[in-house]
Structure 1
Amino acid sequence: MTTVIPGFAHHRVTVADGVALHAAVGGSGPAIVLLHGFPQTHLMWRHVAADLAADHTVICPDLRGYGASDKPAENGPDTYSKRTMAADVVALARALGHGRFALAGHDRGALVAFRAGLDHPNAVTHLAILDVLPTLDMWDVMHGVSAAVGWHLYLMAQPPGLPEKMIAADPDAFFGSFLDQWIKDPAAIPADIRDAYLTASREAIPSIVADYRASAGVDVSHDTADRALGNRLPMPVTVVQQDWGAALGYDAPALWQPWTDDLHHHTTTAGHFIAEESPTELTTHLRTLLTR
């Protein structure tokens, strides 16, 4: 095992004033951008990216504030809004020569992908969302004792200072708890990859918290405005999720349907880290999406 994606070149691309993203790029053909989740980096895509690179240009960035990408200080609600992070992704793809591209995101990256699909429908040709709900719907369905599963969302929604100090007291225990609790097959994240995730997260505490804080503030405002306007995702959309409905009391396809004109929804038996636990299943879903 290695902490690079074999055959992929590494790029550092300026996407905004003072902000550059690190991206692993491989393959050739139509472009697909793969966005990682929390608490991970682009390495979560190592299996899926290698498969798709046979006939696609595959772009795997570290999101703003994560991994080897820049981590600007939070100087307002927009620094880590999903709107800002989505604009980063579109700028990255254009800088690499791709004005139009398919887009897949997991967890935090899925929220960025969702926003990119709404804000940049002429750039995003196909959209895949993995194991997350749109921010507005997520807050709407979390209530009562079942909301305990999202305790970290409430912690990192607090004003700057306390969350960062609490996490910095033992970052490996904090970030490692999610890698341990959200996975069904621990072997899917081997020791060297786990260490890479923990090291990257340890070095990005303020920006990771700022990303989550935005999801309790400005991102809700953006989703609320889109819902009021009836804005929808015009491209083909595939959603792959665990069956959280029984636990949290919601119908996931019914929550997604108002946001898209063309939805394929799939439930996986894998844990949260689908791309690492069930890469063949996920790649099949992505390849099917790309033919729609």
Structure 2
Amino acid sequence: MSGIAGFEDQRVVVADGVALNVAVGGTGEPIVLLHGFPQTHLMWRHVAVELAQDHTVICPDLRGYGDSDKPVEAGEDTYSKRTMAADTVAVAKALGFERFALVGHDRGALVAFRAAMDHPDTITHLASLDVLPTLDMWSVMQGTSAAVGFHLYLMAQPPGLAETMIAASSDAFFGYFLDLWVKDPAAIPAEVRTAYLEACRAAVPSIVADYRASAGIDVRHDEADLKAGRKLTMPVSVVQQDWGSALGFDAAARWRAWAPDLVHGTTASGHFMAEESPQEITEVIRNLLKR
């Protein structure tokens, strides 16, 4: 399947010879868009084209996903959000940008959060779509309500079991989330769904490693920041489904503890909001950039 209309695909080496597949389009001030699970940079195909009218838009496949390299998990840090955040900064720098706005969805939003914490002088604005920071995510997953996050616990296990189970029926596993989390199935047409499933099928070990890191080293990084009193210093916009109410916690308060300059909102869209409601998400990003 072709990439985003009007965008050029590039290979950008970030660290230790790891190369990321990156789609780049437009001209102007830079915005980096990071995709979620179980997707690739293709999830930004609508939003990216709109933003490229007056910005340089950079859409990488995260390491371990899509057409980016999938290094073997050599330790916790291989797929830590700190490492993936450094990848993001390296991609922008290789393309000539020392500072940029950053938007992330799902897994990409966790990477974006870490990039904003670790590189506050580099990230000018931060937008997060449909996640909590890693430490808070684990904190609110309690009791039977945690069943909605069963995949988090499965992929948190030591190497071996999750990879074997998922690889045995990868299309069913990843397709389950594409079906469960979407409110408008037409937003993910058959050819896009096929592209996502093919990409995930080829990336089971690295996707599991990404999730495993979120149950270990990523939590420790958040805990260290919390203990040190570090905050997000840039303007932050968060858009989420209203699952805070459904699961019994205040999502806006959770985010405000990290982000003093916060605009928090909910959406009637499903989880894949950049595909289901691209105009809404484009407007959120443009409003963020005005702050």
- Scaled by the length of structure 1, the TM-score of the pair is 0.99
The offset of 1:246, in angstroms, is 2.1
Instruction: Name 1:79's counterpart in structure 2.
Output: 78
Q: What's the offset of the Cα at 1:18?
A: 1.9
Shift of 1:245: 1.4
One-letter code of the match for 1:129? S
1:147 — aligned with what? 146
Could you tell me how far apart the structure 1 residues matched to 2:18 and 2:4 are? Answer: 23
Aligned to 1:254: 253
Deviation string for 1:38-72 (max 9, x for gaps)? 00000000000000000000000000000000000
Which one-letter code corresponds to 2:88 in the other structure?
A: V
Quote the offset at 1:15 in angstroms: 0.3
In 1, Cα distance between equivalents of 2:110 and 2:279: 23
Question: Match of 2:234?
Answer: 235
Are 1:175 and 1:198, in contact at CA under 8 Å, matched by a contact in 2? yes
What does residue 200 of structure 1 align with? 199
Aligned-partner SS, 1:78: helix
Correspondence 1:42 to 2:41: yes
Identity over aligned residues, as a percent? 73
Contact kept? 1:146, 1:247, Cα under 8 Å:
no
In the alignment, the residues of structure 1 paired with residue 163 and residue 153 of structure 2 have an alpha-carbon distance, to the nearest angstrom, of 13
Which 5+ residue runs of structure 2 have no aligned equivalent?
none
What's the counterpart of residue 177 of structure 1? 176
Matches within 5 A, 1:188-227: 188-227=187-226
Q: Distance in 2 between matches of 1:100 and 1:240?
A: 23
What letter corresponds to residue 112 of structure 1 in structure 2? V
Please say if 1:95 is aligned against 2:86.
Answer: no
Q: Distance in 2 between matches of 1:200 and 1:160?
A: 20
Kept in 2, the 8 Å contact 1:3–1:196? The answer is no
How far 1:232 moved relative to its partner?
Answer: 0.5
**Equivalent-residue separation in structure 2 for 1:58 and 1:159 (angstroms):** 37
Give, as a single letter, the amino acid of the residue that structure 1 aligns with 2:274.
Answer: A
1:115 CA displacement: 0.1
User: What SS does structure 2 have at the residue aligned with 1:79?
Assistant: helix
Amino acid at match of 2:50: D
Amino acid at match of 1:242: Q
Q: After the TM superposition, list the runs of 4 or more consecutive aligned residues in structure 1 that deviate by more than 3 angstroms.
A: none
In structure 1, the partner of 2:158 is 159
- The answer for unaligned runs of 5 or more in structure 1 is none
Displacement of 1:136 in angstroms is 0.2
Distance 1:48 1:81 in 2: 27
2:192 aligned counterpart, secondary structure: helix
- The answer to whether the 8 A contact 1:3-1:43 is kept is no
**Secondary structure of residue in 2 paired with 1:94:** helix
Distance 2:187 2:72 in 1: 33
Distance in 2, Cα, partners of 1:92 & 1:280? 26
Give me the whole-angstrom Cα distance separating, in 2, the residues matched to 1:18 and 1:30.
Answer: 28
C-alpha separation between the residues in 1 aligned to 2:109 and 2:57?
17
The aligned amino acid for 1:247 is A
User: Normalization by structure 2: what TM-score?
Assistant: 0.99
Instruction: For residue 248 of structure 1, report the CA deviation from its aligned partner.
Output: 1.1
